[in-house]
Amino acid sequence: AQKITQTQPGMFVQEKEAVTLDCTYDTSDPSYGLFWYKQPSSGEMIFLIYQGSYDQQNATEGRYSLNFQKARKSANLVISASQLGDSAMYFCAMREGQGAQKLVFGQGTRLTINP
């Protein structure tokens, strides 16, 4: 069963608009962590933001925020005021349990920012 689902294979957004990238997850473990990574065309994996299952508030990092809806098991990434440099693949990932040592990734969303 797919643990992390990203339903948007591709997104096209005008520069300066906000964009929401969807991510739903499936786990029965009460303790888990959710991550978003950016992979530009150069190929490296860049950590963007983290949300813990017990965190009361949504995580924010600069222009990135995570819309965490625990009951719906969704962890959408919101990028405000998009820039051309935001064009990349975006991956949602989950770590289950406190001692778990692996990230499980979604299929990714390719975001293209148009000028």
Partner 1 sequence: DTAVSQTPKYLVTQMGNDKSIKCEQNLGHDTMYWYKQDSKKFLKIMFSYNNKELIINETVPNRFSPKSPDKAHLNLHINSLELGDSAVYFCASSLRRQAIYGYTFGSGTRLTVV
CB of 34 to partner 1, least distance (A): 10
Give yes or no for a contact between 60 and 113, defined as CB atoms under 8 angstroms apart. no
Residues near partner 1 (CB under 8 A) are 33, 35, 37, 39, 43-45, 47, 50, 52, 89, 91, 93, 95, 99-105, 107-108
Apex 111 CA angle, 103 and 3, nearest 5: 30
Give yes or no for a contact between 107 and 58, defined as CB atoms under 8 angstroms apart. no
CB of 8 or CB of 39, closer to partner 1: 39
CB of 7 to partner 1, least distance (A): 15
Find residue 111's DSSP bridge partners: 11, 88
CB of 43 to partner 1, least distance (A): 5
